[in-house]
Amino acid sequence: MAAAAAERAAEYIRAVSGVGAVGQSDRPRPHGPSVSPSDWVSKGHNDWVSQVDQNAERLIAGILGAGAPGSRLVGEESSPELARQGLVWVVDPLDGTTNFLHGYPQYAVSIAAAIDGVLEVAVVLDVNRECLYGALRGKGAWLGDSRLRVSEIREPARALLGTGYPFKQLEQLELYLEQFRRILPATSGVRRAGSAALDLADVAAGRLDGFWELMLAPWDSNAGFLLIREAGGVVTDLAGREVGVEHTAVVAGNPQIHAWLIEQLGEQGIA
């Protein structure tokens, strides 16, 4: 059901943008803004939304509500108040909205299901590449038919990390820059692509060895949390506390790189 809802939203997003999935054409095509800038709505500093986000969330809510009557939905666009009792769907209909609005092909549909606050199901759908990531608690994580495993890189000097900037919480920028100064010289590199859902999926798939961000909403991150845990990785906050349906800092990675990141980024590491 979650996969069907994500697929339906992705079909709509692709139709609106006029861009097909990767593989539908042998030649790359130019791609400017997906939605006219006059139709962008500012929700806050550096925080945009469009009718595409809102319509995609309504499509998802309709499918999930019909398939699981009585369940609740937590989503950035229509119902951002957190809920933890019973079956709760945690939904980002378009994670990477700014990327989408500019035609930068790195955005996803993210859906997680939690029962009484425990993450049970996760789906992340890379809209452009048509890559469907899924996980079930205790059953593993998958990309299509392939089982996901976090990377086996243990040495920070060989590690490639993902990150997210505090572009909404600019008061955290100096703290983040201090962390960045610690991390960048000690690793193979740090990437910021603009979709936390896909960054976390990349950790689960072993493409990235670790990830950190000072604040993520549950709709951005919850599906990725379960993907990583079911792929053998670790996800916590800066203090090493396991995180779930909440607004929180995030440190993720394979066990070795996660432990190193906590050492670098935790309370002692940023003192």
Average pLDDT of adjacent 10-residue blocks, the chain of 271 residues: 97 83 48 54 51 93 96 84 92 94 94 97 97 98 97 98 91 94 97 98 98 97 98 97 96 98 73 43
Q: Alpha-carbon distance 15 to 81, whole Å?
A: 30
Which pLDDT belongs to residue 36?
A: 57
Which pLDDT belongs to residue 20?
A: 57
Whether the CB-CB separation of 250 and 228 falls below 8 Å is answered with no
Q: E-strand spans in 96-216?
A: 108-115, 118-126, 131-136, 140-143, 146-147, 160-163, 189-191, 210-216
| Domain span(s) for CATH 3.30.540.10 in the chain | 2-147
Among all chains, which residue has been given the structure tokens 């740090």?
190
Which pLDDT belongs to residue 270?
A: 46
Residue range 156-265 forms a domain whose CATH class is alpha beta
Which pLDDT belongs to residue 26?
A: 42
CATH 3.40.640.10 fits 2-147, yes or no: no
Q: What is the pTM of this model?
A: 0.89
Which pLDDT belongs to residue 76?
A: 78
The DSSP H or E segment spanning 87 is strand 87-95
Give the side-chain half-sphere CA count within 13 A for 92. Answer: 28
